[in-house]
Amino acid sequence: MDDQSDKGEGIMIAIIGAMQQEVDQLLALCKHVEKRVIHGSHFYLGKLSSVDVVVALSGVAKVAASMTTTCLLENFDIKGVINIGTAGGLKSEQEVLDVVVSTEVAHHDVDITAFGIKRGFGERFSYKADPGYVEVISKMVNDNEHRVWIGPMVSGDQFIHRKEQVDQILTDFPDANCVEMEAAAIAQVCDHYKIPFVVIRSLSDIAVRDDNHLSFEEYLSVAAKRSAQWVYEAIEEIAAHA
């Protein structure tokens, strides 16, 4: 079904994933799924547990994520946004399949320092996640096998795999737990529309290690499944908070 809006149909929580593998892991947990295509963006309406959700496939990188999020918020009665998927760890003590939950998200590759605007968390191109959502997910994510990292993360239009890239990010954002390619764009659109958001991702690779692109390919599906499972377990409390 194409180009149909659901504005005003009731409270919905949106869940956005960049890649089909990430979205498929969540759709496997949903019931009564109906696909809609609006202006080329793919949305899946259904129920996750007892909650009405819209699962959105954004595509990779920030422009695609911005377009999909804007289309989502213009066409559905969204009360909150969760970004799921995978990310690259930025700390040497992290392990693949650790979980990261955002408190704040920033663009690491936006640079207008020539005009005196600093790069870093708390600056112009950084966005705070909803503290209530962070609290809900943090309480739900209990894992005895892998660590849970709660804190800031960064986004950019590159897959980070070289030491100089990691060094630059950690120079500008020393507290960042992970790096990925969509969350800051999603957060920026949510901030514009005054919609609360949170990001929960599972580490598919550790960016500070060599050959992390091989780890990404190996662990993508497993990491995506873990991220989707945490959302499933937290969705009812998030909806109650919306």
pLDDT digits (tens, 9 = 90+) for 164-222: 898 999 999 999 999 999 999 999 999 999 999 999 998 888 876 656 555 566 777 78
Residue 8 binned pLDDT confidence (cut-offs 50, 70, 90): very low
Residue-level pLDDT at 44: 97
11 pLDDT exceeds 70? no
Residue 10 pLDDT more than 90?
no
Q: Which of 25-34, 212-221, 231-240 has the lowest mean pLDDT?
A: 212-221
In this prediction, residue 21 carries a pLDDT of 87
The pLDDT assigned to 174 comes to 94
DSSP-derived letter for residue 241 is H
Choosing from 175, 191, 205, 236, the catalytic residue is 205
> Each residue of 111-128: pLDDT tens digit?
888 988 888 887 778 999
178 close to 90: Cβ distance less than 8 angstroms: yes
Query: In 47-182, which residue ranges form alpha helices assigned H by DSSP?
Result: 62-75, 131-140, 163-172
| 146 has pLDDT over 80 | no
The catalytic position among 6, 22, 77, 145 is 22
Residues in the chain: 242
- 52 annotated active-site: no
Pick the CATH number of 12-241 from 3.40.50.2300, 3.40.50.10440, 3.40.50.1580, 2.40.30.30: 3.40.50.1580
71 versus 227: which is more confidently predicted? 71
pTM for the predicted model, two decimal places: 0.90
Q: Is the dihedral of CA 100, 201, 232, 40 positive or negative?
A: positive
Distance separating alpha carbons of residues 37 and 54, to the nearest angstrom? 12
Query: Average pLDDT of 21-43?
Result: 94
Residue 151 scores a pLDDT above 60: yes
**Catalytic residue status for 205:** yes
What is the predicted pLDDT for the residue at 3? Answer: 58
Residue 230 or residue 129, greater confidence: 129
Residue 63's pLDDT band, with cuts at 50, 70 and 90, is very high
Q: Which residue has the tokens 């759709």?
A: 27
